Amino acid sequence: MRNVKITIQYDGTNYHGWQIQPNGRTIQSELTRVLSQLDQRYVIVHGAGRTDAGVHATGQVASFMIARNFEPDQLRDAINGNLDRDIRVVEAEFVDDSFNARFSARRKTYHYRVWTAGVVSPFAYRYVYHHRGPLDLDQMRQAATSLVGEHDFSAFTVMYSDAKTRIRRLERLDVEGDQSGISIIAASEGFLRYMVRTIAGTLIEVGRGRRTASSIRDVLQSRSRANAGWTAPAAGLTLVRVDY
């Protein structure tokens, strides 16, 4: 048996997220199906992050044990040959048996993309949230500074959660702009469910002038989901990197 680490890219539009669901196709279920066929036994696939329905990835990581004798590139090609083209394994490598894609991860980086130009390119519409008109970039940046660091992020996740703790250390929250829109880049060892999308939705409301940058600290301290902004649409979110 060999422990394998794969790096995956996928367009999440047509999937019910990463995690296997009783009804509906997921990224994990597709990988499990293909790997179980290739290894002629049930293969358990561990993912670094459980992306939600409609969320994309350019740098998702998964690991699994395999019995058959494949070279890494052969395994990559065999997996891809049995997947739809909106999921691709871009790299496969053998790793130490102690490696686990989820528990060995040290940092995950997400990118939320807001398209503010009047027309969304047909090559981008699946991967952005379209907000017509400019957003106040400076105010969004000021608001973001209140969220960096270790906090209780109860206000930025689902009201009911099975997470052992809602305290997370947000290592990075950058707001960058270009001609077509704004990028919100968040990095942490771990995120709560809908956390990045709720942060994005709240920052967008600041950019619209619907709430002030200074109010974000009070939202955070309230620990109440009712005080934060909306949960931005899944299409704009991409898992771009997992560090180990």
Catalytic residues: 52
Decide if 241 contacts 59 (C-beta within 8 A).
Answer: yes
- Residue 87 β-bridge partners: 10
Instruction: Name the nearest CA neighbour of 237 among 20, 17, 85.
Output: 17
Q: Tell me the one-letter amino acid at 184.
A: I
| Inter-helix orientation angle 72-80/27-39, to 10° | 120
Give the pairing of strands 149-152 and 129-130. unpaired
Instruction: Name the nearest CA neighbour of 158 among 198, 189, 123, 115.
Output: 198
Residue 113 has φ and ψ, to the nearest 5°, of -110, 125
In SS3 terms, 127-159 reads as: HCEECCCCCCHHHHHHHHHCCCEEEECHHHCCC
Decide if 147 contacts 232 (C-beta within 8 A).
Answer: no
Decide if 96 contacts 158 (C-beta within 8 A).
Answer: no
| Inter-helix orientation angle 215-222/195-208, to 10° | 150
